[in-house]
Every structure is written in C-alpha cells, then in structure tokens.
Amino acid sequence: MLPTPRSLRVRWVPLRLGPAIVNALAIDLGTTAAKVSVVAVDGRVLGSGTEVVETVFGAGGVAEQDPEQVWQAVLLAARKALAAAGSDESGRIRVVCATSQWSSIIPVNPAGLPVGPMLLWLDRRGERYTNAISTGGADGGTATRSHWADVHGLYPSTSLAHLLFVQNDQPELHDLTHAYLEPADYLNARFSGRIAATGCTAMPLALSDNRQLGKPFWSDDLIARAGIDASKLPEMVPSLSVLGPVLPEVARALGLHSDVVVVAGANDSIAAAIGTDALAPGRATVVMGTTGVLVAHHPTRVVEPSKFIVTMPSALSDRFYVMAEAGLGGKVLEIFLHEFIHGNEGLSDTGAPGDLFERVSRAVAGVPSGSDGLMFLPWLIGSAAPKLDRNQRGGFLGMSMGTTRAHMLRAVLEGIALQMRWLVDEVAHTLGVPFPMVRFAGGGAQSDDWAQTMADVLGREVQQVEGPRHANARGAGLLGFLSLGIVGIDDLASCVPIRRIYEPSPSNRALFDDRISIYRDLHERLADPVSRLTRRPY
C-alpha cells in the first residue's frame, strides 16, 4: 500500500509581470524523441507534441541518428504543440529556446546543415583516442587527467572522442565539416542560422577553460594537447545570448511571427534544474528519464571527475551547475516491462504512460518493500556516477522458488532508486551539503509508487513536481524568458508547483540503509568477474 502523501496539489501562482503576455516555444530533444512545448510566462505548459527519433546501432560501437530526421521531428512536434496550444497562445510566442541530450556531435556546413550523421552519446568509436590521452606518459596519464580536470572539470571523454574519430578516421567528412555541434547548438543553428556554443553546451567537448565563473572560453592548451583542429570549433557566446531572429523559412513553416528570437539554451539537465527550481545550494532534483540524473547548483566550482560528478558553467552566469548521471534509469524499467512482463501481471504496452504506471503500482501492491530479499542491479550498459565502470552489467540477486514477476518489478524500481541513493549521498558529501529534500521529475516521476519508493530508499523527503515530464521544456521556456528580461531569478520558484510530497517510511529506514551498503559492496566485488564476462572474446 502506498502511504498517503502529506501534501495537496499546489496551485499555480501568477507572476506580476505587467500587461505583456508572452509564450515560449521550448524544444526538448531527448535520445528517443523530440518533445516541443508552448510554455507560458508562469511556467504552465499550454500544449505539447512529441515525435520519435530513430537510433541506428552497429558493430564496433556505432550509435547514430540522422540529423535531418531529428530536425524534421522537431518541426513536426512543434506543429503539434502549436496546434494543441491554440492560435491565441501560438500567436503570443516571442522566443524559441532549445535544450537537448548532450555528449553527441553533429558535423555541419557553414549554413548549419548536417554533412554527416549525429554520433550519439552511446557511440563508442573514438574512445581509443581519449583513452590514449588519459593514460599517456610515464605516470600513466595521472598528470594529464589532473590538468584536464583543473582547467575543464572533466577528463577527455565522449564528445571529444567523436571529434577525434571523425578527424582521424573519416578525413573526408572532417574536410566537409565547418563546425562540430552539440544537439542544442545544432537546433539553434537550424532555427537562427547562427553557429555558436555556450560554456554549458560546449562542456562535453572537454576543450574549454571553465575556471572563471561566467567566463568560459576555448582553451588553446587543451586543444593542442588533444590534437584537435580548432578551426572546426563553433564560436563561444555567453549563456542566454539572443542568437537572432528565427529564419524566415522556419517562421513560415511554423506560422511564427517574424520578430520571434532564438536564445542560446542549455543542456537538458541544466534545463531540468531550472524547471524544478534546483537553484539554491542544498537543493537537488532527481530526473528519471532514459537515464537517472541528479542536478543541482552550487556557488563554487567542485571538481570530482573520478566520481563522474560534473561541475560546469550554468546557463545562469552567477553560479555553477552540478550534475551526476547514474546511467540508465527509466529505460531499464521500460526494457524490463517490454522483455519480461509484457502481457503478464495486467501490464501491456498500450495506453498512456500514466496508465502504465498505475498498472505497475497495482502489480507490485502485494510485494513488501525489499522485494522479499530480491535485489536488482541496473547497470545494463555499465555504471556511471559515482563509480564509472563501462564493463559492469545488471542482474537479479536473491531469487528463490517464491520469486514472481511482481517481486522482480518491485526490485527493478528499488534497484534504480538504490543507484540514485548512492549518487545523492556521494554528491551531498562532495559538495558538503545535506540535501534533506530532493525533487523528483522526468517521465519516471509520473509514478506515485516510484516516488514513495524513492523517498524510502533515499531516506529523504521527495517532492514530486507537477507535470514531471515537462520539467525540461518548462526550464527551456523559463530560460528564454530570463534571457529577454521578462522574468527574474526570484520569479522562478513560483513557476514550479509541487504535486505531492512523500516522506520516507521510518519502518524502512534500516532496510534500505543495509541495502545500500550491500549494493555498493556488490559493485566492487562484481567488477572483476563481470568484466571477464563482458570483455572476454569467445
């Protein structure tokens, strides 16, 4: 049984912004879909549209998307959102702001059009180049990694690997490329015609100097160490810069006014922090989408790349943004439901996502917390923060003759929550803040049962935001309004209503304190044998 949440639905609080009524067209490009929303100045989502984006996987670590298909998906989703909002609300749009998944690279020509595929963050090609940088030298690369972390905040990683792969292994494509862009910057180029990046969108390239708050720039030193052709890097502009008006042909295609402007947005996790008001020190949000991510802001720069805890320039120039990605999150539940439970336990792939979560709750209602001793490890593609290990893999432990699909389902919910508990504890320790309360957003936060499970496992109050699937879009819209001076930082809290508050059950405290200790221990003990399974050729 779910405990009764102690809060009631929080009502929207209108902002006192004068007579002007404006909306934003907010783009949220994820790994699996393009989502576009019309966002009001008070944070309400007035209409949304979604279009699926296909990923092509291949041998040798290939994971690609077609950038033109991505762009067409954004346009289709935008038309749906505008139609859902209605002509009155669509006519009030004054700003376009894009947020997106990141650590993916698109090569473009001078007009911002793609000349090759998007190398998705899942693409493993090029890793040998960044591995060589990170391990080269008599000290095994220790000095190099330390220097990179000090200047940039991360070790050489995914997007830099993509650049090096194209530059070295696909020289014809490299010659055609005018600039390599992260997805948010690619969308900005398609909307405005301007090729540019900000400190936060450029972060995955691992080539910027982020030591001065609000003043990131390309590092000639890191570029030289990496051996990158600097002429292929985009212009660096301040966060929330107005890039220009929407291109006339795009405005006509979407029915937008000619005076609508495009604002340099941010990576999706930063938008989620804005869209859930994770701005003050000690306030964090767990975003449960394809991956599980912890997002927060902090007044000072904290560098802890060994734990995969990233501090980067925020879209807000007066503070740093902190992000730690735990690896796959909601995607693990999706895979489990599709592969193991489809057609059983009253579950199926039909119906709205909210209906599915209600069926999940009914399916696990008879299973006690702790899943009768069953534990699930969610590392299907390896673990990320706070202990990066690409060779780890998932599994169930503690299965017995009495284990049912319902036990396994609850164990999946708890296993992903345990990874987030490990993450929240490590980030709180690293930043020196307690995180007594955590907000919950993303598609997974639609589940009341998962919200209560998250509270029990984290041992913290969990605040489930209203419209959790729209947190990124709300954040992107609010960033657009901030850029134009329509709202201020102090207005943002009233734009983020809380649906319910979940308190951890005291009776489960000892259970999950013990489980997190077992969980961390298993990660260490299984690293070698699982690595032998995943790396050994047969």
Phi first, then psi: give them for residue 376, nearest 5 degrees.
-115, 135
Query: Rounded to whole angstroms, how far apart are CA atoms 278 and 284?
Result: 5
Query: Rounded to whole angstroms, how far apart are CA atoms 291 and 327?
Result: 5
pLDDT in tens, 169-196: 999 999 999 999 999 999 999 999 999 9
The tokens describing 165, both together, are: 């792969």
CB atoms within 10 A of CB 343: 8
Contact 192, 243 (CB under 8 A): yes
Q: Rounded to the nearest 10 degrees, what angle do helices 67-85 and 183-192 cross at?
A: 70
* Local confidence pLDDT in tens for the 538 residues of the chain: 344 344 433 333 344 444 357 999 999 999 989 999 999 999 999 999 999 999 999 999 999 999 999 999 999 999 999 999 999 998 899 999 999 999 999 999 999 999 999 999 999 999 999 999 999 888 888 999 999 989 998 889 889 999 999 999 999 999 999 999 999 999 999 999 999 999 989 999 999 998 888 888 999 999 999 999 999 999 999 989 999 999 999 999 999 999 999 999 899 888 999 999 999 888 999 999 888 999 999 988 888 888 888 888 888 888 888 989 898 999 999 888 888 765 555 555 444 555 778 888 888 889 999 999 999 999 998 999 999 888 899 999 999 999 999 999 999 999 999 999 999 999 999 999 999 999 999 999 999 999 999 999 999 999 999 999 999 999 999 999 999 999 988 888 889 989 999 999 999 999 999 999 999 999 999 999 998 888 755 4
Query: Rounded to whole angstroms, how far apart are CA atoms 457 and 442?
Result: 18
Give this prediction's pTM: 0.85
The tokens describing 40, both together, are: 């009001």
The tokens describing 34, both together, are: 């393009």
Phi first, then psi: give them for residue 24, nearest 5 degrees.
-120, 145
pLDDT in tens, 364-405: 889 999 999 999 999 998 999 999 888 899 999 999 999 999
